[in-house]
Structure 1
Amino acid sequence: MAEDDPGILVSTAWLAAHLKDPDLRVLDATMFLPGVDRDARAEYEQQHIPGARFFDIDDISDNRSDLPHMAPTTEKFMSRLRAMGVGDGHQVVVYDTHGLFSAARVWWLFRLMGQRHIAVLDGGLPKWLAEERPVEDMAPIIRDRHMTVRRQNQMVKDVTQVSAASKLGDHTILDARSAARFRGEAPEPREGLRKGHIPGSLNVPYTELLNDDGTMKDVAALRAVFDAAGADLSQPVITTCGSGTTAAIINLALERIGVLDHALYDGSWTEWGAFPTLPVATGDA
């Protein structure tokens, strides 16, 4: 592992300086929303940061669930990562081709599995390419390494727990979807879902946490976003979104400003919006 712990976000300059560290592992965690005609794995195979492995979020998930890319079992996570040559003693840096989108989901997933040495590349592949840093199309050489996993159950919430939190008001629930989707004014990208949001939740569109170049805003600016949303960060926080992907960007932002009591609702609106017996709110609150 690199001697200078990079924390939860690394700059492109940091990654470039450490790219040849023997215990660094880089992951391309790109995924696209339903209806987007792009193939993340094919794009990875065409070009990726040197040495990067492809982390398939849909594959490394609980395929027994009808919901998309739910967190996998610890056994599946360990076996998939071992096959990718990622394990104990590695500093992992994850990125995506959006800037900062699905990479945060993989950061959260590693943390759920008890992994601490996991960071997101700030600005992702777009910033890396804009700075004319190297890419390649070669597959990395894989050497197995064992990974010790200790699942942190407090970092994930199910529908029953979120329903209770919504009724009791003892958690701050933050929704990362766009304002139009939160208010119920725009259709959901997945068919069959009701429009609106979890009663009592607040809207923090993930785009408001990012700069124009896809990097995450600084601590002061992040705090201002949460303040503007009316978020009480003295309570435990639950994040949600469409399918548990962009919610993790809020978790990453909370971690950056020192708010550590946060969890992610894995089923998110794909689950809540499909249950006719669960209440739905529309409008701003």
Structure 2
Amino acid sequence: MEALVTPQWLADALGASDLKILDATWFLPDTGRNARAEFEAAHIPGAAFFDINAIADASSPLPTMLPDAEQFARQLGALGVATGDRIILYDNAPHHTATRAWWMLRAFGIDAALLDGGFARWVREGRPVETGPATPAAAIVAVEPNPLRIRSLDQVRANLTAHAEQLVDARSPARFTGEEKETRPGLASGHIPGAANIPYSAFFNADGTWKHPASLRQLFEDEGVEVERPVIATCGSGISAAVIVFALHLLGHPAALYDGSWVEWGAHPDTPKATGAA
């Protein structure tokens, strides 16, 4: 299965016993939108709701952090996903949050694909939708944590000296430079020193589909990022950084994600912060 599938591919596959469709829509808290309510109002037939807020480490003071393997396997199994299933992820969110769910699955050794263009394209093409909550039959899914997919604060800080990996920040230019002040209390403005800035929105066409691989490569090269060298993706809270990881996956190069991202780095009193352009 390719990393990106079209609505036609998914429509042809609907009803297959090994096909699991997960809606990973997520919104920032201040948007006033409710992802679960929107799922229940309309979703792709047979889909279950992958709740990024709930499938997270509740013991962490940081938002939406990756849970441990036991919790992830239990919650993914509750969505009806079994070992060996073909998993298709989609969303209807401006931050393209299905990439976060994709990265979470990859962090636990599970392959999945994204619906190119997401729910908006599915609806635009006149495809069928369902309403109401999903009630999947629970299944058992095996997970295998892959630490190569994740970076911690200490690892990112050590990299500032080692320079073994390139840092790429998916936030807007205004947040990256510090021109736009952070609203979270106690959070500094700016970026991790040495990071390049490629806003997550740059990876998509106007209709929400992914850009051609040649264009994706050019985005990295224009910012001095060598796609053949290791990359750590970062953002505000580890959500949109997954767009960078998936873009590099489309180019055949695995990347890591700094899960704490700026909400952790920017709040830590001992981490260096930079402002201005990269």
TM-score category of the 2 structures, normalised to the smaller one = over 0.9
Report sequence identity in percent. Answer: 46
Give the length in aligned residue pairs: 278
1-structure distance, mates of 2:272, 2:90: 36
Aligned to 1:59: 54
The 3 A distance-change label for structure 1 pair 192 and 99 is: closer
2-structure distance, mates of 1:99, 1:119: 19
Q: How does 1:60-209 map to 2 (within 5 A)?
A: 60-98=55-93, 101-116=96-111, 118-209=112-203
Any gaps of 5 or more consecutive residues in structure 2? Answer: none
Aligned to 1:210: 204
2-structure distance, mates of 1:282, 1:152: 33
Aligned to 2:6: 11
Report the residue type matching 2:193 in the other structure: P
The 3 A distance-change label for structure 1 pair 99 and 195 is: closer
The 3 A distance-change label for structure 1 pair 99 and 36 is: closer
For 1:35, what is the secondary structure of its paired residue?
helix
2-structure distance, mates of 1:145, 1:53: 13
Q: For residues 177-222 of structure 1, give each alpha carbon's deviation from its aligned partner in whole angstroms, at most 9, with x where no partner exists.
A: 0111111111225333111000011001111111111111111000
1-structure distance, mates of 2:76, 2:70: 10
Q: 1:88–1:148: 8 Å Cα contact kept in structure 2?
A: yes
For 1:88, what is the secondary structure of its paired residue?
coil
Q: For residues 93-134 of structure 1, give each alpha carbon's deviation from its aligned partner in whole angstroms, at most 9, with x where no partner exists.
A: 111112661100000000000002x11111111111111111
Q: 1:99–1:124: 8 Å Cα contact kept in structure 2?
A: no
The reply on whether 1:39 has 2:34 as its aligned counterpart is yes
Find 2:260's aligned residue among 261, 267, 285.
267
Moved over 6 A (4+): none
Aligned to 1:278: 271
Q: 2:63–2:237: 8 Å Cα contact kept in structure 1?
A: yes
1-structure distance, mates of 2:13, 2:105: 21
Report the residue type matching 2:189 in the other structure: K
Q: 2:153–2:258: 8 Å Cα contact kept in structure 1?
A: yes
2-structure distance, mates of 1:77, 1:251: 20
- What TM-score do the two structures reach when normalised by structure 2? 0.97
The 3 A distance-change label for structure 1 pair 99 and 52 is: farther
The 3 A distance-change label for structure 1 pair 191 and 215 is: farther
Q: 2:49–2:134: 8 Å Cα contact kept in structure 1?
A: no
Report the residue type matching 1:264 in the other structure: L
Q: 1:154–1:263: 8 Å Cα contact kept in structure 2?
A: yes
User: Structure 1 stretch 265-274 or stretch 135-144: which is displaced more?
Assistant: 135-144
Any gaps of 5 or more consecutive residues in structure 1? Answer: none
2-structure distance, mates of 1:96, 1:171: 30
For 1:259, what is the secondary structure of its paired residue?
coil
1-structure distance, mates of 2:256, 2:274: 22
Aligned to 2:228: 234
The reply on whether 1:223 has 2:217 as its aligned counterpart is yes
Report the residue type matching 1:12 in the other structure: P
2-structure distance, mates of 1:228, 1:120: 26
Q: 1:100–1:214: 8 Å Cα contact kept in structure 2?
A: no
Q: 2:26–2:93: 8 Å Cα contact kept in structure 1?
A: no
2-structure distance, mates of 1:188, 1:213: 29
2-structure distance, mates of 1:144, 1:259: 34
Measured after TM superposition, the shift of residue 168 of structure 1 is 2.3
